[in-house]
Amino acid sequence: MTPPDAIVFDNDGLLLDTEEAWTRAESALFARYGGTFTVDHKRELIGSSHTIAAGKLEVMLGRPGEGQALIDELHALVMAEAAHDVEPRPGAVALVDALLAAGIPVAVASNSPREFLDRVLQTSGMAERFAVTVAGDEVPSPKPAPDIYLEACRRLGADPARSVGLEDSPTGAQAAKAAGLTVIGVPYFADMDIPDADITAASLADAIVSETVGLVPSRG
């Protein structure tokens, strides 16, 4: 069994349960403008880059032309939330530790800005496990473009075609697939379809995940 060159993790909703922090911030933002943040809003925003989210927020809150200002407000709110109550997703710690023990390189590829990514990795206690992390504001185009995944593989000296990406959203999976990685989809919402995923799992603790990332022999 030849292990992959690298395993690249999405962050929000996949590696860390930061979506709870985002939801608290999004709810506060909507309340400021007399709105109510719903699950449907969450589904539409999940995985979006800041640029895409800005356009969506303009529509959701009925404030055309104010997308960047809304994103700036949301960023300030979520940075405060990111300082507490951020936990790894089920199976994340065990999976990353097993990969490190096996000598398989790992990285984080996130659409979130560097300031937020660094804070939540520290808050969750996961920062020291990753020598390579790439943020959405460090590449020419965020997800669904492949840039973040290509940069993560470049920094690890890994061939994308021999690497695996793990994602919780269609947007992220599209990026990993476009970069040439094998994609494991672990949907944040259990009923969310991830069309670009080669394999779908209910959590990072599923046996199929361990098989696909090269930790155990495939039963297939």
Class of domain 6-17+86-212: alpha beta
- pLDDT tens track for 178-191: 999 999 999 998 89
Q: Which pLDDT score is estimated for 47?
A: 80
Q: Which residues participate in catalysis according to the annotation?
A: 10, 12
Please give the mean pLDDT across all residues of the chain.
Answer: 95
Identify whether the C-beta of residue 149 lies closer than 8 Å to the C-beta of residue 109: yes
Q: Which pLDDT score is estimated for 219?
A: 65
| pLDDT tier for residue 204 given thresholds of 50, 70 and 90 | very high
Given a cut of 80, whether residue 218 has pLDDT beyond it is no
Q: Which pLDDT score is estimated for 107?
A: 98
List the one residue out of 138, 143, 170 whose CA is nearest residue 155. 138
Q: Which pLDDT score is estimated for 117?
A: 96
Given a cut of 60, whether residue 77 has pLDDT beyond it is yes
Cα separation, 61 vs 195, in Å, equals 29
**Looking up tokens 């599209």, which residue turns up?**
174
Q: Which pLDDT score is estimated for 24?
A: 94
- pLDDT tens track for 2-50: 899 999 999 999 999 998 898 999 999 999 999 999 999 999 998 888 8
Q: Which pLDDT score is estimated for 41?
A: 96
Given a cut of 60, whether residue 220 has pLDDT beyond it is no
Q: Domain segments of the chain: what residues?
A: 6-17+86-212, 19-81
**Please, where are the H alpha helices in 33-139?**
39-45, 50-61, 67-81, 92-101, 114-124
Q: Which pLDDT score is estimated for 1?
A: 66
Q: Which of 43-57, 68-82, 155-169 has the lowest mean pLDDT?
A: 43-57
- pLDDT tens track for 114-151: 999 999 999 999 999 999 999 999 999 999 999 999 99
Q: How far is CA 39 from CA 18, 44, 58, 177, 189, in A?
A: 16, 9, 17, 27, 10
Q: Which pLDDT score is estimated for 72?
A: 94
Q: pTM of the predicted model, to two decimals? A: 0.88
Q: Which pLDDT score is estimated for 50?
A: 84
In eight-state DSSP terms, residue 48 is -
Exposed e or buried b per residue across 28-55, where buried means at least 16 C-beta atoms within 10 angstroms of its C-beta: bbbeeeeeebeeebbeebbbbbbebbbe
